[in-house]
Structure 1
Amino acid sequence: MRIVACLNGDRRPGAHPALPVSVDQLVTDAHAVVAAGATAVHIHPRDAGGAESLEPQAVAALMERMRADGPDVPVSLTTSLSAQSDPWRRYDLVQRWASPSLPDSVSVNLHEAGSVDLIHLLGDRRVAVEAGVWTVDAARILVATKVRVAAVLVEPTQVAVDDAQRNTAAIMSVLDRGKVAVPRMLHGADATAWPMLSQALEEGLDIRIGLADTMRLPDGAEAHDNAALVEHAVALASASA
């Protein structure tokens, strides 16, 4: 089972005192979450001002440091339109990422414009793709296009747990009927983060946790940092084994 620590997501700088934004902070945080039990990290690269960025120089600066000084675990980056709202501009930026600084994998949200073209580009560059599936329609796109992906990230965005569970069940049904056989990860956000993590453990799926998904522990207390979230998730995984 993979335990992915999602370090910052699209959170604004200052959203949490321990939210890592700079390259130095991200490298330090990556070591901390791996020490807590994470087997991989997922990062939203940032520019010098702390905003999300897919610019080649921002990606290169991050990946060069992660390769040189970070922990020896896979590194995944986002390609979300939250980081670059123009899908054509996003395609151009990712196309210009330098080969020595390519991540191990990237997430591509299938409901976003240009996602299928971007997956083909990444395949040509031999970068593994994790398909972000937020909706039933996104799952249908994955099945219909038959694009090659390494994993599926089932990511219900509903605020209420019951609604998120219903959406998850509907997405899983489409994936099952479409015989999508790659590994699946299930995660929620904020109020659904821990319930979805528990469901993932019950179903034997990969899990993800981090300040990108929630800033609180299951009891509602604010988490000290990403490592505290990962440590709690690892304890839950061990208890369910």
Structure 2
Amino acid sequence: MRIVACLNGDRRPEAHPALPVSSEQVVAEARAAVEAGADEIHVHPRDGAGAESLEPQAVAPLLRLLRAELPDVPVSVTTALSSEPDPVRRYDLVQRWSALPDSAAVNLHEPGSVEVCRLLIDRRVGVEAGVWTPEAARILVASGLAEEFLRILVEPMQTATEDALANASSIDGVLDRAGLDLPRLLHGRDRTAWPVLETAVAAGRGVRIGLEDTLRDPDGNPATGNAGLVELALARTSAAA
């Protein structure tokens, strides 16, 4: 079972003392997370002011540092509109990336998502289809690109665990009826992060954890950092084995 460490997401720098913003901080947190047991890294690149950015000058130096420090660890980056709200400009930025990640997450409900998926496939970057709703799952199916994707990220964003799991089940239903057998990674956010992770573990799916998804441990205490969250997730996957 693979564990993806999601290091920072769209959270503001003041959200947590260990939230990595600069490239050097991201690399340090990535190294610690891998040492704690993470198999992959997912990151939202930032500019010099700490804001999310898809600019080539933000993405390329970060990837070079991560590859130098962790040459055998797959690295995923975001393409979310939280990083660049203009879909046309987002496409242009991704097209101009001078260094490429192993994979990139694309939220299928966002405008221009299918076009970005095609661009990434053309550039030989693995596509992680971010599916938040059954409607997004139907966009995925209708795109005709699913067989070329790396995996599907089932990402229920409801704040109540029962609602999040019901949404995830509805998403799975759409994907199952379409006959898609791509790997599916299931994860929640904030209050649902740990219950959804435990559901994913029980189902034998890959899991994701890190300060992007939660700032707290399963008992509700502040997390020590990404490595601490990975250690707690790994303990749960080991207990379920």
Q: TM-score, normalised by structure 2?
A: 0.98
Deviations 1:121-146 (A, max 9, x none): 11100000000000000001111222
Equivalent in the alignment of 1:202: 202
Deviations 1:180-203 (A, max 9, x none): 111000000000000110000011
Superposed displacement of residue 19, structure 1: 0.3
Superposed displacement of residue 72, structure 1: 2.5
Where in structure 2 are the equivalents of 1:106-185 lying within 5 Å? 106-147=104-145, 148-185=148-185
- Conserved 8 A contact 1:13-1:50: yes
Superposed displacement of residue 70, structure 1: 3.2
SS in 1 for 2:180: coil
1:136 & 1:219 partners in 2: Cα distance?
Answer: 31
- Conserved 8 A contact 1:200-1:207: yes
- Conserved 8 A contact 1:34-1:71: no
Superposed displacement of residue 71, structure 1: 5.4
The answer to whether the aligner puts 1:5 opposite 2:26 as a matched pair is: no
Deviations 1:160-188 (A, max 9, x none): 01110110110000000111111000000
1:109 & 1:157 partners in 2: Cα distance?
Answer: 12
Equivalent in the alignment of 1:15: 15
Report the RMSD for the aligned CA atoms in angstroms: 0.7
Q: Which moved more, 1:122-131 or 1:70-79?
A: 70-79
- Conserved 8 A contact 1:28-1:70: no
SS in 1 for 2:15: coil
1:18 & 1:109 partners in 2: Cα distance?
Answer: 26
Superposed displacement of residue 61, structure 1: 1.0
- Conserved 8 A contact 1:54-1:90: yes
- Conserved 8 A contact 2:31-2:69: no
Structure 2 unaligned residues grouped into runs of 5+: none
Count of aligned residue pairs for this structure pair: 239
1:188 & 1:57 partners in 2: Cα distance?
Answer: 31
Where in structure 2 are the equivalents of 1:17-96 lying within 5 Å? 17-70=17-70, 72-96=72-96
1:38 & 1:45 partners in 2: Cα distance?
Answer: 19
1:221 & 1:72 partners in 2: Cα distance?
Answer: 33
- Conserved 8 A contact 1:78-1:108: yes
Equivalent in the alignment of 2:100: 102
- Conserved 8 A contact 1:31-1:71: no
* Code of the aligned partner of 1:142: L
SS in 1 for 2:88: helix
* Code of the aligned partner of 2:122: D
Deviations 1:10-41 (A, max 9, x none): 00011100001101011111110001100000
Q: TM-score, normalised by structure 1?
A: 0.98
1:192 & 1:136 partners in 2: Cα distance?
Answer: 18
* Code of the aligned partner of 1:217: D
1:189 & 1:91 partners in 2: Cα distance?
Answer: 27
SS in 1 for 2:217: coil
2:71 & 2:27 partners in 1: Cα distance?
Answer: 8
Percent sequence identity is 62
Which stretches of structure 1, 4 residues or longer, exceed 3 Å deviation after superposition? none
